[in-house]
Amino acid sequence: MPLAPRSRTSSGRFCFPLSMTMMRRDRFFLVFTLAAVFSADLYFILLPKLQRMGQRSVRPCSCSPDNVTLPQHGGVATPQLSNWTSAQQRDGTGSEHVVTGSKLENLFSHPLYSIQTPELAPEERLLATGQLMEYYKKKVARWERHMKLYSEAAAVSNITVSEHKVTYDPDASWLKFHLGINRYALYSRDDPVIPQLLREMQSMTVISADYTQDEKALKGECDCTQGRSLIKCLMFAALRGVNTSVASSSTHTVISYNAPEQFQKLFSRGELLRSQLKKQRTTSSSHMFFSSHPSALVVKPSGHHLKLALKMETYAKAMFKPMRQQRHEETPEDFFYFIDFQRHNAEIAAFHLDRILDFRRVPPVAGRVVNLTGEVLQVTHNEDLRSVFFTSPANNTCFFSKCLYVCKTEYAVCGNPDLLEGSLSAYLPSLSIAPRTSIPNPWIRSYTFTGREEWEVNPFFCDTVKQMYPYNSGNRLLNIIDMSIFDFLISNMDRHHYEVFSKFGEEGFPLHLDNARGFGKHSKDEISILSPLSQCCIIKSSTLLRLQLLSRPGYRLSDVMRESLEKDALQPILTEPHLLALDRRLQKVLRAVQRCIRRLGKDRVVTEDFVQSTEGPQVATGLAKVR
């Protein structure tokens, strides 16, 4: 735009036109106005906000207008959550407030860990008080009669036995733990009974030691030289027209078979196994796994790991798994996941992680040093268990599993000289009053040396699972994905089955049992464990929010795990590389969720909690009741 011509006045000065003068005045006015507005905004809005941020407590603000909230359902409280779940902070890279004090306490005081479940109806509790107390009294009376007869027989034989009386205590912590089990979790978040039970398991007097029930059943069916349980299995298969052969080694037993396709399907789905269970009423099948691939069936060597059932003075029961590996040792590269050692520290760490993730599906586990002579050998009434104790050349007390496929002293565990550390897992209520149902994991692995399951080769496998009962409605599939995230974090590849309480049916949650094969390798992340999440691309809203919270520096997963594990008597439970591996794996879980969200959208991936279940065809469950 050309400048307007200037004119010279009588004094010789140049004079600008009036329009040019007004334009300059408007510019100055605009600049002054903007500066005033910015100053007012800075003084009255931005500065007060910065001051409030500096004075704000550790807990995030719960009044943001763009909060993320959990889905509503009946009486479920839905606390307003701050916008820490924004895209910038999901990976923990956003702004972070300084967290002081205990990170674990701050985590459990976070609104995400204060969500209330609906008020429980009587049918939503696993056990009634009267029912459990009556069962307890009968067990105590039976124990007293048994001990009286045992003492009389010992006196006749001139044998000295240790006498331990059972104390009937209706306020025992293990009873309160059993009474607190409901359809949502094994215990409530703020239940004071759990810390009490953990402390008592570390010091309660052991009055009896025995093999666990599953090992008893397996032992009763096998013979170290004949392998009668295998023969029974082969006889049953032969009746159905399956040609079989057996090959054994020191670490495993392989059954090869050549069966028609329909029988291979029976093997792969476990139908043959369940049919055998119904006839024999034995749990020995928990150590056998069938594959549809025409190669082999691997029978897991239960003698490769030892476990004992210890009974305490208040009639509490706990499963003892002794230390088999040092904490710094990793699973050998040549080991298959189904013959890996069972680690006692993995059981302990899995309980703490399950609690931190707020699943609460692992029974309480505590570490303890057990005196093999005074707390096992001298209190057991099982002669078979007595017979497997021996003294090593180093003068240490040792014991091994007598007849669980591996009948050798090479697999023994030894004290130092009598003391041996291990994990104590609190028993769940007896199957006679709280039966459980064992269900094959849809993402079960091939328990063969070369075979692969359908989910390993079919990326759309989840579409098939979604059509199957009970995964086509309710929370079951979401709970399976929770379980896969849990297993990925602990690196557990051995989740072949899961159990639910029969009373709750399809509404029940899967129990996260038998986690001793976790934490085997801190240097490797087995991404295939996350297949349920990556293939189904759904996750609970509450699960995702907690995972995002644990990825933040103020609540870092490795830090809260380290602090939680310090309370155990055997600490340190995990080495530092294993703790850091938790953070690395957590980021991989969050990235898997983000990939799903980018592909399908958040509404299709992040799913509401407490989904109401619909009635399904009971005949299609394919469930096997644990007896």
More confident residue, 494 or 240: 494
pLDDT digits (tens, 9 = 90+) for 15-73: 555 555 566 667 777 777 877 777 776 666 666 666 555 544 434 333 333 333 333 33
Alpha carbon distance 398, 37 (integer Å): 82
Percent of the chain with pLDDT strictly greater than 90: 43
Task: Provide CB contacts within 8 A for 269, sequence distance 6+.
Answer: 440, 622
Q: Average pLDDT, stretch 381-392?
A: 89
The pLDDT, as a whole number, for residue 306 is 80
Work out the number of other CB atoms within 10 angstroms of the CB of residue 95.
9
Is residue 334 a known part of a binding site?
no
Task: Provide CB contacts within 8 A for 327, sequence distance 6+.
Answer: 345, 572, 573, 574, 575
Helices (H), 116-157: 129-156
The pLDDT, as a whole number, for residue 401 is 74
pLDDT at 554 over 60: yes
Tell me the pLDDT of the chain averaged across its residues: 75
8 A C-beta contact, residue 136 and residue 315: yes
The pLDDT, as a whole number, for residue 47 is 64
pLDDT at 376 over 90: yes
* Catalytic residue numbers, as ranges: 494
pLDDT digits (tens, 9 = 90+) for 102-153: 999 999 999 999 887 788 899 999 999 999 999 999 998 888 888 888 778 8
Output DSSP code: residue 60.
P
8 A C-beta contact, residue 529 and residue 492: yes
The pLDDT, as a whole number, for residue 443 is 93
Is residue 188 a known part of a binding site?
no
More confident residue, 404 or 622: 404
Is residue 425 a known part of a binding site?
yes
Is residue 40 a known part of a binding site?
no
Is residue 426 a known part of a binding site?
yes
pLDDT digits (tens, 9 = 90+) for 491-548: 998 898 999 999 998 889 999 999 988 888 888 899 999 999 999 999 999 999 999 9
pLDDT digits (tens, 9 = 90+) for 244-291: 443 333 333 334 444 444 434 433 433 433 333 333 333 333 333 333
More confident residue, 8 or 114: 114
pLDDT at 242 over 50: no
Alpha carbon distance 55, 70 (integer Å): 27
